Amino acid sequence: MSLIERDSLLFHGADWDFGTIQRIFDAVEAIGVGELGLDVYPNQIEVITAEQMLDAYASIGMPLFYKHWSFGKRFAMHESSYRQGLMGLAYEIVINSNPCISYIMEENTATMQTLVIAHAAFGHNHFFKNNYLFKEWTDADGILDYLDFAKGYITRCEERYGHAAVERVLDAAHALMSHGVHRYPRKKKPDLRSEERRERERHLHQEQTFNDLWRTVPTKGASAKPALSDERRRALLELPQENILYFLEKSAPRLQPWQREILRIVRQIAQYFYPQRQTKVMNEGCATYTHYRIMTRLHETGQISDGAFLEFLQSHTNVTRQPEFDDPHYGGINPYALGFGMMQDIERICTVPTDEDRDWFPDIAGRGDAMGVLRDVWANYRDESFISQYLSPHLIRQWRMFHLVDDPDRPELKIEAIHDERGYRRLRRSLSRHYDVGWSDPDIQVIDVDLAGDRRLILHHHVLNRTLLHKDDAQRVLQMVANLWGYAVVLKEVEPATGAIFQEHVAHPHETLF
């Protein structure tokens, strides 16, 4: 009997080879797809070294990326803290592409490889393929091709226009990256595949139709156009516009075509990463919950040994640890812990609900099919809506959450809500707001510009909770906006309710830069 049990193990000890990985993968797939009903992109698993992992860190995890000094800086930073032992490396990196690429480190033990495959190749993969935000905003089929195009394009620009010129545009674009995304679907989906063709065709057309004679043709005197109404003028420029990079790409009067293309590339990449920022808790929760289920099942069916299971539990509990607020290790709410906790809580509500759960979650309490509910949750929510919908009083009590308000006008901090009947909803609402990217990023919009007049670009920051922008940084970024725009730029920090202006920043372009 014991002999048979031994034979059912996927691996013995910590060592692994490619055959082991294949066996592990098949076993994990059998549970993930067969029992949990996950729906995943085809997987591609790549074994890499620590140095390659550091490389991947430096370029935001993507296998290929254009060159920029900031990635070199990140690499140097990670490398030196890794060498000093201040930082461990992640066990894996997973890329939202089709096929879904997961990097696994060569020094992981066989148990860790099992965990990583369950976590990345099934958990994250399922989330990428099914969550509505990823479906809406990212093109998993085309992203690697697009990055390849971007890398090649920027390299060609560097050859043609010089490193310094390209670097200045990239610096500015990176500074505006968080304000370079569309937050609402537009008429047309971005079609990343055609980017390369589109750019090449346009360039070819320009070269073919180039005729130096046009330069010598005398131009007409400025025709007296009828003055547009302010309203109409703004409408033509699609103002107000919160996607600053988009606005600059389309409307900045003095940019070269290649500079616009670079802004576009950075904008597309920012847009690709936008869903990840909004689904940290859910994405990690989904992956953690999936690996926990799969590993437990592997252990139950005797495919991994008790020792391996304990090794797994140790790293699992490390990842899902949530220190309390007065703990010296406290560094904010751990998305792994919150996501995993909530998903386990949903499982509990579905299978063994209490009366309280029936009150709070009538449509899922006691439904039994926990995986069905979770798959629906993973597909249709993001962090903010997920928390505001599914954070249960049970979990709030378990975590003993409380809400602390720091108002500079008051001499002391105030406890606004705790884990009691009066506090549950308020706690849930404020926590979910923390995860709303639209709320946590400063709301900055392009309000107006008179292209026929002085072309002064007016931006507004709609101040929330009287928190102004970091002054030094704002001035630097504004300078970059001015350089791209080519004319003066003013940023007003406005209280949206009253229209009162707290502060104004002004920047004039450096004529020599562009």
Partner 1 sequence: MYIIDRRLNPGGKSLANRQRFIRRAKAQIQRAVRQTAGDRDITDLERGGEVSIPADGVREPSFRRSGEGGVHDHILPGNKRFVEGDTVDRPPGGGGGGSGGGDNGEGADDFRFVLTRDEFLDLFLDDLELPDLAKRRVATVETQGVRRAGYTVTGSPVNLALLRSMRNSLSRRIAMRRPKPAELLRLQEEIALLEQENGSPERLAELRRELEELQLRTKRFPYIDPIDLRYRRFEPVSKPVAQAVMFCLMDVSGSMTEHMKDLAKRFYMLLYIFLTRRYKHVEIVFIRHTHEAKEVDEETFFNSPETGGTVVSSALREMQRIVAERYSPDSWNIYAAQASDGDNSPNDGSTSATLLRDEILPVCQYYAYLEVGSDSDRMQTGFINHKTSLWQTYETLQGQSANLAMRKVNHRREIYPVFRELFRRRDAEAGARAP
Site for partner 1 in 10-29 (CB under 8 A): 18, 21-22, 25, 29
47 near 17, Cβ under 8 Å?
no
Closest distance to partner 1 from the beta carbon of 171 (Å): 8
Q: Which is nearer to partner 1, 161 or 399 (CB)?
A: 399
Helix (H, G, I), strand (E, B) or coil at 288: helix
Q: Which of residues 263-282 bind partner 1 (CB under 8 A)?
A: none
Closest distance to partner 1 from the beta carbon of 44 (Å): 5
Helix (H, G, I), strand (E, B) or coil at 102: strand
Closest distance to partner 1 from the beta carbon of 149 (Å): 18
What distance in Å separates the CA atoms of residue 319 and residue 157, rounded to the nearest whole number?
A: 43
Q: Which of residues 286-325 bind partner 1 (CB under 8 A)?
A: 322-325
Q: Which of residues 54-83 bind partner 1 (CB under 8 A)?
A: 54-55, 58-59, 67-73, 75-77, 79-80, 83
Q: Which is nearer to partner 1, 353 or 386 (CB)?
A: 386
Closest distance to partner 1 from the beta carbon of 412 (Å): 4
What distance in Å separates the CA atoms of residue 84 and residue 31, rounded to the nearest whole number?
A: 40
Q: Which is nearer to partner 1, 276 or 380 (CB)?
A: 276
Q: What are phi and psi of 227, to 5 degrees?
A: -65, 130
Helix (H, G, I), strand (E, B) or coil at 3: helix
Return the number of other C-beta atoms located less than 10 Å from residue 134's C-beta: 22
Closest distance to partner 1 from the beta carbon of 47 (Å): 5
The residue from 168, 293, 375, 461 that contacts partner 1 (CB under 8 A) is: 461
For 444, the token pair is 């900055």
The residue from 179, 267, 291, 394 that contacts partner 1 (CB under 8 A) is: 179
Q: Which is nearer to partner 1, 173 or 192 (CB)?
A: 173
Residues 6+ apart with CB under 8 A from 51: none
Q: Which of residues 410-449 bind partner 1 (CB under 8 A)?
A: 411-420, 422-423, 427, 430-431, 434, 442, 444
Q: Is residue 467 at the binding interface for partner 1, with CB under 8 A as the rule? A: yes
What distance in Å separates the CA atoms of residue 488 and residue 511, rounded to the nearest whole number?
A: 11
Q: Which of residues 151-170 bind partner 1 (CB under 8 A)?
A: 163, 167
Return the number of other C-beta atoms located less than 10 Å from residue 484's C-beta: 27
Closest distance to partner 1 from the beta carbon of 249 (Å): 18
Closest distance to partner 1 from the beta carbon of 346 (Å): 19
Q: Which is nearer to partner 1, 310 or 404 (CB)?
A: 404
Stretch that binds partner 1, among 46-54, 135-143, 249-257, 276-284 (CB under 8 A): 46-54
Residues pairing with 104 in the sheet: 47, 92
Q: Is residue 236 at the binding interface for partner 1, with CB under 8 A as the rule? A: no
What distance in Å separates the CA atoms of residue 190 and residue 4, rounded to the nearest whole number?
A: 55
Half-sphere exposure of 259 (CA within 13 A, CB side): 24
Q: Which of residues 340-359 bind partner 1 (CB under 8 A)?
A: none
Closest distance to partner 1 from the beta carbon of 51 (Å): 6
The whole-angstrom distance between residue 502's C-alpha and the CA centroid of its chain comes to 31
252 near 509, Cβ under 8 Å?
no
Q: Which is nearer to partner 1, 135 or 476 (CB)?
A: 476
Q: Which is nearer to partner 1, 57 or 365 (CB)?
A: 57
Q: Which is nearer to partner 1, 296 or 503 (CB)?
A: 503
Closest distance to partner 1 from the beta carbon of 232 (Å): 29
Q: Which is nearer to partner 1, 67 or 280 (CB)?
A: 67
CA angle 462, 466, 468 (to 5 degrees): 70
Classify residue 267 by its DSSP letter.
Answer: H
Computed from CA positions of residues 76, 82, 83, 85, in that sequence, does the dihedral angle turn out positive or negative?
A: positive
13 near 110, Cβ under 8 Å?
yes
DSSP 210-244: --THHHHSPPPPPP-PPPPPHHHHHHHTT-SBS-H
Closest distance to partner 1 from the beta carbon of 326 (Å): 6
Closest distance to partner 1 from the beta carbon of 455 (Å): 22
What distance in Å separates the CA atoms of residue 339 and residue 322, rounded to the nearest whole number?
A: 11
Q: Is residue 181 at the binding interface for partner 1, with CB under 8 A as the rule? A: no
Closest distance to partner 1 from the beta carbon of 301 (Å): 20
Q: Which is nearer to partner 1, 72 or 362 (CB)?
A: 72
Q: Which is nearer to partner 1, 52 or 276 (CB)?
A: 52
Give, in order, the Cα–Cα distances in Å from 512 to each of 119, 168, 508, 509. Answer: 51, 12, 12, 9
Q: Is residue 175 at the binding interface for partner 1, with CB under 8 A as the rule? A: yes
Q: Is residue 42 at the binding interface for partner 1, with CB under 8 A as the rule? A: yes
Looking up tokens 């600053």 gives 244
Q: Is residue 492 at the binding interface for partner 1, with CB under 8 A as the rule? A: no
The residue from 193, 280, 403, 462 that contacts partner 1 (CB under 8 A) is: 403
Residues touching partner 1: how many (CB under 8 A)?
A: 97
DSSP 15-79: ---HHHHHHHHHHHHIIIIIIS----PPEEEEEE-HHHHHHHHHTTT-SS----HHHHHHHHHHH
Q: Which is nearer to partner 1, 302 or 441 (CB)?
A: 441
